[in-house]
Amino acid sequence: MKNENLSGIRVILLSGEEFQRSERLSEILDAAVDKATRDFNLDVFTPETFKLESVSELIVTFPMMAERRVIVIRDFDSIHPETRKKASEVIKNTPETTLVVIEGEKAALSPKPPAKYFKAETFKIIYENRLPSWIQGRFVKRGKNASPDAVALLMNNVGIILRELDSEIEKVVVASPDKDSITKEDVSKVVGEFRHDTIWNLCNAVGLGNFDSAIGILTNLMDSEKNRETFYVSTLATHILKIAEYNSRRRKGVSHDEALKVATSSPFLWNLNKMGAQTRNFGESEVRRVLTLLTDSESMLKKYSVDKRLMAEILIPLVTRGQVKAGKG
């Protein structure tokens, strides 16, 4: 982001997915505040340090040896609602010598500043279908291209958390300074055989009927991500539906190469995750049995006050019990 793109803007609101909005905040600060005068002209507040009186004074304080000062309020949506309302009133009247940046997942201003002085950006979650292009874009930003297999291996072994993915991409690029195109072998040297505890690997463990692996991954996921049990169950159901659709297409005479497109993003991932064994594990009756368990569990997690963690843990042996034997051979 260039400084001229901020011309006339006095208030910026950043909301949505955390990694993307944090990255945009860094771009804004690089464009708006000279590093030589940041100590004088940049103030950052969090919910713990926020004081309305201080912000009110700083907004109208002239910058030192610069065109304007910048005030950043992080996690604005975590500040008490009444305080947010009062702060919005103050921020609405930000002068041209100040830039206020409001940031938070669900951050909002009410009342809003005048439209000609206000810029709002919301960053959407990058879901599975958009991750490959996002990952490729991160490589391109660093002057590299990546093969589809390299992208698939990163997704499979690292997961869907953008900050973690970007960190691993940086490591891959640093480890391959003389290469224009990154291969799966280059990625493997960095991420190795180690797989993070990701939702994809939980799905694959259930698909393979590997109870020990599935319960271990689920436990670690629940320890690191609170209150996501409904998402895990829903994603498992989607995974089983993809397997069922693959089997349905094969029964109708569709070729394997064409049918696998509904189950996974590449032949490389099909082999890596042993999808052939997973599709053999889930015949029509097993699909019905497991989907009934998953959909009923998801409904209960949404509607009733239950111990969500316990329910998710109980579910794993139920959805893996019939698959080890079915998958042999």
Confidence category of residue 329, pLDDT binned at 50, 70, 90: very low
Angle at 131 between CA 128 and CA 73, to 5 degrees: 105
Q: Is the pLDDT of residue 157 over 90?
A: no
Range(s) within the chain of domains with CATH label 3.40.50.300: 9-123
Encode 298-312: b = buried (16+ Cβ within 10 Å), e = exposed: beebeeeeeebeebb
Higher-pLDDT residue of 159, 287: 287
pLDDT at 159 (0 to 100): 81
Q: Which residue in 143, 148, 195 sits closest to 168, CA to CA?
A: 195
- Supply the CATH classification number for the domain 199-327: 1.20.272.10
Strand intervals (E) in 273-324: none
Count Cβ atoms below 10 Å from residue 3 Cβ, excluding itself: 13
**Residue 291, CA distances (Å) to 246, 252, 319 in order:** 15, 22, 9
- Domain 9-123 CATH superfamily: P-loop containing nucleotide triphosphate hydrolases (3.40.50.300)
Mean pLDDT of 276-281: 95
Confidence category of residue 96, pLDDT binned at 50, 70, 90: very high
Range(s) within the chain of domains with CATH label 1.10.8.60: 128-191
Average pLDDT taken over every residue of the chain:
91
Percent of the chain past pLDDT 70, that is, above it, reads 95
Range(s) within the chain of domains with CATH label 1.20.272.10: 199-327
Higher-pLDDT residue of 325, 220: 220
Task: Output the pTM of the full model.
Answer: 0.71
pLDDT at 326 (0 to 100): 42
Angle at 283 between CA 278 and CA 288, to 5 degrees: 110
Task: Please say whether the beta carbons of 134 and 126 come within 8 A.
Answer: yes
Q: Please state whether 211 falls in left (phi above 0), alpha (psi between -120 and 50) or beta.
A: alpha
Highest mean pLDDT among 43-57, 190-204, 267-281: 43-57
Q: Report the CATH architecture of 128-191.
A: Orthogonal Bundle (1.10)
Residue 204 structure tokens = 């694959």
